[in-house]
Copies of this chain bind each other. A is one copy, B any other.
Amino acid sequence: MSANGSPTGQQPTATYDSAFLKACRREPVPHTPVWFMRQAGRSLPEYRKVREGVPMLESCMRPELVTEITLQPVRRHNVDAAIYFSDIVVPLKAIGLDLDIKPGVGPVVEQPVRTRADLARLRDLTPEDVSYVTEAIGLLTRELGGTPLIGFAGAPFTLASYLVEGGPSRTYENAKAMMYGDPQLWADLLDRLADITAAFLKVQIEAGASAVQLFDSWVGALAPADYRKSVMSASAKVFDAVAGYGVPRIHFGVGTGELLGLMGEAGADVVGVDWRVPLDEAVRRVGPGRALQGNLDPTVLFTDKDTVEARAGEVLDAAAGLEGHVFNLGHGVMPNTDPDALTRLVEYVHTRTAR
């Protein structure tokens, strides 16, 4: 079977024909497909149970655990796609960097990347470095049947922000100082990270992922001119590297209203939109030829059912003129979200958009 879910030279499979992959390809769909960023994770009691006593990075390296966590929201919510359970820093850990994910803090890098000499620590990623990914996706695709699996990776800017800062930041002052003040070092760093990210996504697609999402979570911290000058070519390198597989490439970052057009141009087939830009405005910024994903404010899920449905209805109304729409939240599911509210939301979108 080819990586896009279509048996080579044969009839399309159930996966290839799924509402999710059709929407990504901007083909007619039986209903608007739904999945949620961070659907596999902290909002689910069954997730918290299987994670008990298992550190975050270790949980990403145990194929059976990854499989269980990835499947949990598919079983519970009837979402149209699974997202591979991982963390943005997994490929960096896999090439031997000394980093950890500290509870309540986030990724912490022991020795931040600040100089040209530090680049030498960023060696290529090989499939052997992440054999647990190949194994987990093998298990997953058997369990998932016709439900597509979305591969997962962090984009070069967001990876660089952790590496240069040494941990999470609200200001990215060290990363941006390098970007503004030493553009050649910055470009070389992002180029290295693009190669690592591309290799990580290739492993996932070759193991059976039938779409990928490249998370540039924090790139909304940049003005458009800086994105174009200092980030776009590295993200484009990742997208180009996996173009030959024919699987849809989704791209998302929070607070990227000013960047939506450029993030599409970088090579995304589907542009994710946060809740700040209505989808009918987002489509004007992105232009034709790309699907959109989004964009219910995740905090809406803390209100009652009627309010959730009214707001989800507004998202669907704003999406009415799109060529392709994947329903999602405008950012990840928040930890305190009631899982039942997510299940009801999937049902609402499916019912309301059934054709």
A positions within 8 Å CB-CB of B:
171-174, 176-177, 180-181, 220-225, 255, 257-258, 275-278, 297-300, 302-304, 307, 311, 334, 336
A173 is contacted by which of B171, B275, B277, B302 (Cβ under 8 Å)? Answer: B302
**Given A180-B302, A181-B303, list of 16 further CB < 8 A pairs?**
A171-B298, A171-B334, A172-B299, A173-B299, A173-B334, A173-B336, A176-B297, A176-B302, A180-B299, A180-B300, A180-B311, A181-B304, A220-B255, A221-B276, A222-B276, A257-B258
A299 lies within 8 A of B171 (CB):
yes
A303 lies within 8 A of B180 (CB):
yes
B residues near A275, Cβ cutoff 8 Å: 223
A276 lies within 8 A of B173 (CB):
no
B223 lies within 8 A of A276 (CB):
yes
A277 lies within 8 A of B297 (CB):
no
A299 lies within 8 A of B334 (CB):
no
CA distance A277 to B224 in the complex (A): 8
B residues near A257, Cβ cutoff 8 Å: 257-258
B residues near A224, Cβ cutoff 8 Å: 276, 278
A278 is contacted by which of B173, B223, B297, B334 (Cβ under 8 Å)? Answer: B223
Query: Can you sample 11 A-B contacts with CB below 8 Å?
Result: A174-B302, A177-B303, A180-B297, A180-B299, A181-B303, A220-B255, A223-B277, A224-B276, A225-B278, A257-B257, A258-B277
Write the chain B residue with the least CB distance to A223: B276
B residues near A278, Cβ cutoff 8 Å: 223-225
B residues near A221, Cβ cutoff 8 Å: 276
CA distance A334 to B221 in the complex (A): 15
CA distance A311 to B258 in the complex (A): 19
Write the chain B residue with the least CB distance to A277: B258
CA distance A193 to B117 in the complex (A): 53
B residues near A174, Cβ cutoff 8 Å: 302
CA distance A224 to B297 in the complex (A): 13
CA distance A171 to B332 in the complex (A): 11
CA distance A303 to B302 in the complex (A): 43
Which 3 residue pairs are nearest across A and B when measured between Cβ atoms?
A181-B303, A177-B302, A176-B299
CA distance A12 to B221 in the complex (A): 42
A295 to chain B, nearest CB (A): 9
Write the chain B residue with the least CB distance to A227: B276
CA distance A136 to B168 in the complex (A): 39
B residues near A220, Cβ cutoff 8 Å: 255, 276
A103 to chain B, nearest CB (A): 16
B residues near A258, Cβ cutoff 8 Å: 257, 276-277
CA distance A173 to B121 in the complex (A): 39
B307 lies within 8 A of A181 (CB):
yes
CA distance A222 to B297 in the complex (A): 9
A28 to chain B, nearest CB (A): 29
Write the chain B residue with the least CB distance to A314: B225
A131 to chain B, nearest CB (A): 35
B residues near A277, Cβ cutoff 8 Å: 223, 258
B223 lies within 8 A of A177 (CB):
no
Write the chain B residue with the least CB distance to A176: B299
CA distance A193 to B258 in the complex (A): 31
A49 to chain B, nearest CB (A): 24
